[in-house]
Structure 1
Amino acid sequence: MAGHGAPDAHLTPVTHTMRVAIIAAQWHEQLMTQLVDSATRAATDAHVEYTVVRVPGTFELPVAAATLADTYDALVVLGVVIRGGTPHFDYVCQGVTQGITTVSVTTRTPIGFGVLTCDTEEQAIARAGGPGAVEDKGYEAASAAIMTWQELRKVGV
């Protein structure tokens, strides 16, 4: 079940200056609009400055993240990949996941991962945070990046 086991974490306003880049793909525009709107709402709720950067597709998220990691305190990556009839889905999902993980670890920059990797468009709609959705992955990804940055600051990093 989607969302089962999620932490009961609550986003609290940031008390220091924080800059977040929300990097979003352009494919699946309606879903992406919902994800970006949710991520920007989380940034606003946390009182952080944010910039939205749009890249052509989900595969371009890692290079954009690597480029922006040294300029922003945290990043949020948003994309939608829906399974088709070829292995393209697997290659894109694996490449993006590994790329974003590498950027986060090597730059020590918190990255909220809001890339929907779904078998069907219906699954993506259910997770994109729009009307009737059961999950709000844009808000969750932004919250995760912001809360990770807050926790690391608490321990002096």
Structure 2
Amino acid sequence: MSGHGAPSLQGELDGSGVRVAVVAALWHTEVVEGLLAGSLRALEAAGAPAPTVVRVPGTFELPVAAARLAAAGYDAVVALGVVVRGGTPHFEYVCSAATSGLTDVSVRTGVPVGFGVLTCDTDAQALDRAGLPGSREDKGAEAAEAVLGVVAALRAAGAPPLPRP
């Protein structure tokens, strides 16, 4: 199982005062709704203020939305989407573009981006990671916890806060 060795940050995070935006794709509705619910649960459990939720058509569109939200002054962005392998190279193109784009947003802006993009071979694998009843993993919650963990680590290291627009 891919979750083997994952850290457990739940209960150790303080999200108070952290402005978070969650950008979620519309493709694979059931899975993305599970990811979004898990992300929102994790943020609430950490005491983060209610996040801004932005919906975009698909996973390919996540980076541009994340970039605009990072530039708008959010302390962190959580990106949620799903790409399921098909019979064409489309899977590789979308996965590569989303991964590179979200990494670029985070590094270029200094705003942590939680990577909640599932890249699965089958719909069943996606459902198993969506945080739905019966799922073995909750990647939406993990992405939110990870981004709050980065915010906390940067604060603890004395990194200066980003200027607000």
Give the TM bin, normalised by the shorter chain. over 0.9
Q: State the 1:14 CA deviation.
A: 2.2
Q: State the 1:4 CA deviation.
A: 1.2
**Are 1:106 and 2:108 matched, yes or no?**
yes
Q: TM-score, normalised by structure 1?
A: 0.96
Other-structure match for 2:163: none
Q: State the 1:155 CA deviation.
A: 1.3
Other-structure match for 1:59: 60
Distance in 2 between residues matched to 1:44 and 1:124, nearest whole Å: 24
Distance in 1 between residues matched to 2:16 and 2:38, nearest whole Å: 22
Q: Is the 8 A contact 1:11 1:143 kept in 2?
A: no
Letter in 1 for 2:29: E
Q: Is the 8 A contact 1:11 1:147 kept in 2?
A: no
Q: Secondary structure at the match of 1:63?
A: helix
**Equivalent in 135, 138, 141 of residue 136 of structure 1:** 138
Q: Is the 8 A contact 2:11 2:46 kept in 1?
A: yes
Q: Is the 8 A contact 2:60 2:97 kept in 1?
A: yes
Q: Secondary structure at the match of 1:23?
A: strand
Letter in 1 for 2:30: Q
Give a deviation string over 1:73-120, Cα, whole Å, max 9, x none.
001000000001100000000000000001100111111100000000
After the TM superposition, list the runs of 4 or more consecutive aligned residues in structure 1 that deviate by more than 4 angstroms.
none
Distance in 2 between residues matched to 1:102 and 1:82, nearest whole Å: 23
Give a deviation string over 1:40-88, Cα, whole Å, max 9, x none.
0011011112111100100000000111113200010000000011000
Other-structure match for 1:85: 87
Distance in 2 between residues matched to 1:136 and 1:5, nearest whole Å: 14
Q: Percent of aligned pairs with the same residue?
A: 56
Q: Describe the shift of the 1:111–1:138 C-alpha distance in structure 2 as closer, same or farther (beyond 3 A).
A: same
How many aligned positions are there?
157
Distance in 2 between residues matched to 1:143 and 1:98, nearest whole Å: 21
Q: Is the 8 A contact 2:16 2:46 kept in 1?
A: no
Letter in 2 for 1:72: Y
Other-structure match for 1:97: 99
- Let me know the Cα RMSD of the aligned residues: 1.2
Distance in 2 between residues matched to 1:54 and 1:13, nearest whole Å: 26
Q: State the 1:26 CA deviation.
A: 0.3
Q: Secondary structure at the match of 1:47?
A: coil
Once the two structures are superposed, the pairs formed by residues 2-151 of structure 1 within 5 Å of their partners are 2-14=2-14, 16-49=16-49, 50-70=51-71, 71-151=73-153
Gaps of 5+ in 2: 160-165
Distance in 2 between residues matched to 1:3 and 1:43, nearest whole Å: 20
